[in-house]
Amino acid sequence: MENGWVRAGPGRSGWLALDPRHMGTMPTLWIVHRDASVRGALARLSAAGSDALLGEPSDRAFETSDPPRIVLLGVERDLEAELEFAHRHAARTADAHWILLPRPGDQHEVARLFDTLAAEILVFPPAPERLRQRIRIALAARPAEALSARRVRDALSARFSRFFADLELPELLRAMDPRLAAAPLLVRGEPGTGRSLLTHYVHIFGGGSRGGFARVPCEGVGTAKSVREMIRDASESPAGRRPSTVCLEDLDRLPLPLQREIRGWIETAIPPGLTGAQPNRWVATLGDDPDAGREGALDPSLAQSLAGIAIRIPPLRERPLAIGTFVADTALEWCTTHGERPRQFSPAAIDALRDYPWPGNLRELEAVVARTLAAGLSDPIEAEQLRFDEREQPLESVSPAGQGDRDEAAEEGPAPAAPPVEAETVEPPVEEREAAPAATPPAAPGNDLLQRLVKSVAHQVRNPLVAIRTFASLLPERFEDPEFRGRFHEVVGGDLGRIERVLDQLSGFAALEPAQTAPVNVAALIEQLLEERRSRIQARRLLVLKEIDSASPFALGDEAQLRFALESLIDRTLDWVPERANLYLASKHHPSGLRGGPAVRVLIRFHTPSPASRAPSVDATVPDDLSLRYTSIEIVLAELVIGSQGGTLTVDTTDAEETVILLDLPAPA
């Protein structure tokens, strides 16, 4: 026995502290040095307690011992014995904290030679307090998984299940086999199929590689140095002491000379000049058919190096039966995350989604589901409410006085609070494009209004066409189904009626004569329009509340054009107001209500309860999607007319359950 330490056993040069309370447990600390007296001194300096194993670099006791929490390695003279020790034990002690103890002046050489070992360097002999502090810090770093890592793992697992629940991928089982944890993996598929998701899942759950995940996007990368820097960033993360996974995304986008250089890395597993933890596994993704007319196809020799395990993910168009389940699961996850009650997509909506080509595959479908759910509160969601194209912007509330501000904002990009709407932007028919300029009142509308007019036409024509196209594709195979024929008549007939209404609105706008400004009795005009719709109001059992100013009712404008604008707004409002709801209309003269001049203000306000609070008697077919009000062609055309008369029109849906439409019309002085 020497200094409280005894020899580990016959024939061993190491020292093991014996304590009955710790027999059979893994050692906390390895103390490795060529000189036995120095090992004892380091044991006293570190105050390691009883769980320590002492020995020289060649001692076989380290080979049979369990991995430690800390390795204290003294490096001497030529460093050869210590380098060989680190080479033999670094892989299985990847979770340990290494502390190297070189002689003064050898620090830089030690750092150069132990370049791939994530280690801390302290000059020998270390100050006792500093050594004990570093050991305490290393012991305090528990290997338990942090809450953030657990959340990432659970979210990754849930998303993986949504993306691949319908697929059988036998090669995936091989990729997850711990015995093949170091085997290269090649994942082929179109963008959006979940290639990166699959590789990350294999990294987290397959083979026990708990280190850093280095994602290297190869598009636009031209040098080996850039690739090494991306790998180094992951290696220097808190998890970087452990073996890491390197994922080369779109590997065939790299220049061929660089591909051949990386092939050497994969075959030797060590990129030259890379310090820190070395890659434990190489993973690569590429397109479904990398040789089909692409610049810079995959080098054949590199493909052979990655051929250990290969997985192909089919595109979404080859998996139409997966769409219904994927949409349902994605909608449930979205609603749960945002604290909403679960909502569903109707069979017609699912059919429309199956009919779409999905160039962006599951990632694009996931985005469409999220945009559609965020755009409204309908349940179930119908085909015409799907939001396919994120570039489509909503029609904003219009105030000509603020036109300059809106133009500047348009140059900077869409407003962050604008709700996403609608499907792809589509050019309207030629007749529609020619009709708008012919109907332009004296003041030509700006490009902003014309663009929104085109978008509103596309919106209200595109949505019905989705359902019509879906039913038309199903008609040959389901023609004998009477239930389908009835549904076909109902849906297609209704959608054709919506398209016809859009054309009627455009035709009415085109038929307007050039404006002839004169005093117009706005109060009498509102009363007349409401009277003409009395039967419709009664059928819907609406309560119309009016405060009409008959004392000063006159506005300046063209009576036919103002009638067209007010008629469009009232008709669209009657469509939006739920059955048995209240509709409030008011008009009032303001001495300085429009740019400092006199004006007649018209207010239309109605309440739309959310589906959760709606009474059973309320018409459930009324659209809950407030963004439809922004893209309504009636709103856009009314705005064009009101603006040409020198007035303003504003639509306010700040309150999700109330809509306010406000018109300010110039009045005689």
| DSSP-assigned letters across all residues of 37-68 | HHHHHHHHHHT-TT-EEEE-TT-THHHHSPP-
Q: What share of the chain is helix, strand, coil (3-state, %, to 5)?
A: 45, 15, 40
How far is it, in rounded angstroms, from Cα 611 to Cα 626?
A: 13
CA dihedral 608, 612, 616, 620 (to 10 degrees): 60
CA–CA distances in Å: residue 71 to residues 22, 30, 374? 19, 5, 54
Asked whether 199 and 216 are in contact (CB, 8 A), the reply is no
Q: What is the DSSP-derived secondary structure letter of residue 512?
A: P
Q: In the chain, what percentage of residues exceed pLDDT 70?
A: 75
**Predicted confidence (pLDDT) at residue 330 exceeds the cutoff of 90:** yes
- Does 6-140 match 518-666 in CATH topology? no
Helix, strand, or coil here: 343?
Answer: coil
Residue-wise pLDDT for 32-63, tens only, equals 999 988 888 888 888 766 678 889 999 988 98
**Residue 422 falls in which region: left (phi positive, over 0), alpha (psi -120 to 50) or beta:** left
pLDDT of residue 581: 84
| Edge-to-edge strand list for the sheet holding 244-249 | 213-217, 244-249, 279-286, 185-188, 309-312
Structural domain spans, the chain: 6-140, 147-314, 400-510, 518-666
Structure tokens at 259: 């591909």
Give me the residues paired with residue 286 across strands: 188
Band (pLDDT 50/70/90 cuts) for residue 628 is: very low
Which CATH code fits 6-140? Answer: 3.40.50.2300
pLDDT of residue 285: 92
pLDDT of residue 193: 93
How far is it, in rounded angstroms, from Cα 346 to Cα 139?
A: 56
Residue keyed to tokens 């109707």: 346
pLDDT of residue 621: 37
Looking at 14-28, 331-345, 501-515, 654-668, which range is the least confident one?
A: 14-28
Q: Does domain 147-314 have CATH number 3.40.50.300?
A: yes
Looking at 466-470, 580-584, 614-618, 654-658, which range is the least confident one?
A: 614-618
Band (pLDDT 50/70/90 cuts) for residue 605 is: confident
How far is it, in rounded angstroms, from Cα 606 to Cα 614?
A: 14
pLDDT of residue 403: 36
pLDDT of residue 194: 93
How far is it, in rounded angstroms, from Cα 326 to Cα 331?
A: 8
For residue 73, the one-letter residue type is: L
Q: Which CATH number fits domain 518-666: 1.25.40.10, 3.40.190.10, 3.40.920.10, 3.30.565.10?
A: 3.30.565.10
Span 565-571, average pLDDT: 90
| Edge-to-edge strand list for the sheet holding 52-55 | 6-7, 15-16, 52-55, 29-32, 70-74, 97-101, 119-121
Phi and psi at residue 211, in whole multiples of 5°? -85, -160
Give me the residues paired with residue 543 across strands: 582
Band (pLDDT 50/70/90 cuts) for residue 234 is: low
CA-based radius of gyration for the chain: 36
Structure tokens at 111: 């750092």
Cite the DSSP H helix spans in 515-661. Answer: 522-532, 534-539, 559-576, 627-630, 633-644
How far is it, in rounded angstroms, from Cα 56 to Cα 375?
A: 69
